[in-house]
Amino acid sequence: MSTVLVPMIRTFDAAEFDPRELVELKGEQRISLCLPARNEEATVGAVVETARRELVERVPLIDELLVIDDHSTDRTTNVAAAAGAHVIAAADVLPRFGEGHGKGEALWKSLFASDGDVIVWCDTDVQDFDSSFVVGLTGPLLTRPQLGFVKGFYERPLREGRDGGGRVTELVARPALALLFPQLASVVQPLAGEYAGRRELLELLPFAGGYGVDIGLLIDVAERFGLDAIAQVDLGTRFHRNRPLAELAPQATAVLQAVLRRAAPDATSEIASLMRSGEPAVDIDGAERPPLATVPEYGRPGLGTGSSGLLA
């Protein structure tokens, strides 16, 4: 029986990086922290306030703090703005592509609306958000120019115990990668919502419109730029809202849909219908937004110039 060697993704710890040293290293590069949010009034304020206090005022690592609102019906936008974020409605960005429903759509539109050379994304349903998340994600990019994309990973315990978080990761994402993209098997949290990348890389990639965006970007970066362009960083422990299984099924379908579209495009359609006994069918829209570099409205000079050496 042969042993298959799994390539190891370069791994860091957030504690390795000092934010003051990173400020010196970033030079003229701008860093945008983009926070997708939908009905997160309970947590978004603390996330924004912590980032602003620690990484804008105390240490000027972040140059832009943006919340992209995905049609919230609660006080998310008011809370985020009061905490110090620039809030933009997803529906107002590139409206010819649609109103912007879905996580991937919000991320794609935040890339268009932001101006950073380095983009950092963090989820806003996080409790006990720590500025080390952002420091850890930017650290590898600012200290190693050959890297273009950094994924976070962490423990995800439920409040009442140490097990139970990351169910879609363990039951769908990890098995799918092991079977179809085994070179990514060493990525600890392929569905992590905390990750960062260089604009010159991100603008060349399509974005899955929904929950498939996280794993879709990971696969696309590896396929286009190679494993040497990817790193992961230990962000410690993250507490967030844990959804019931009924809400996880559509998310799991979107994740599998994004993987299959990359491994075997003919194996799945753009719209998948999730059927469950006794429940109405749920349509999962797997449509993907085009690379921003191909969108005329984007109009940024120097697209794909490869200043970091990644695209040379």
The predicted model scores a pTM of: 0.91
pLDDT confidence tier of residue 156, bands split at 50, 70 and 90: low
> Locate tokens 């050959």: which residue?
146
pLDDT, residue 278, reads 73
Residues 133, 122 contacting (CB under 8 angstroms): yes
- 33-42 confidence digits (pLDDT tens): 999 999 999 9
Indicate if the pLDDT at residue 162 is higher than 50: no
Indicate if the pLDDT at residue 249 is higher than 90: no
> Locate tokens 């379908």: which residue?
253
- 6-30 confidence digits (pLDDT tens): 788 999 999 999 999 999 999 999 9
Which among 203, 182, 218, 194 is positioned nearest to 123, based on CA atoms? 194
Which among 276, 172, 196 is positioned nearest to 17, based on CA atoms? 196
Question: DSSP for 262-308?
Answer: HH-GGGS-SEEEEEETTEEEEEEE--EEPPGGG-TTT--TTTT--TT
Q: Which CATH class is domain 10-288?
A: alpha beta
Q: Which residue has the higher pLDDT, 312 or 176?
A: 176
Domain ranges of the chain: 10-288
Tokens at 270, concatenated: 């753009």
Q: Which of 150-154, 222-226, 235-239 has the lowest mean pLDDT?
A: 235-239
Indicate if the pLDDT at residue 121 is higher than 90: yes
Read off the pLDDT of each residue in 300-305 and give the average, rounded to a whole number: 54
**Radius of gyration, CA atoms only, the chain:** 19
Indicate if the pLDDT at residue 164 is higher than 50: no
- 279-288 confidence digits (pLDDT tens): 787 777 778 9
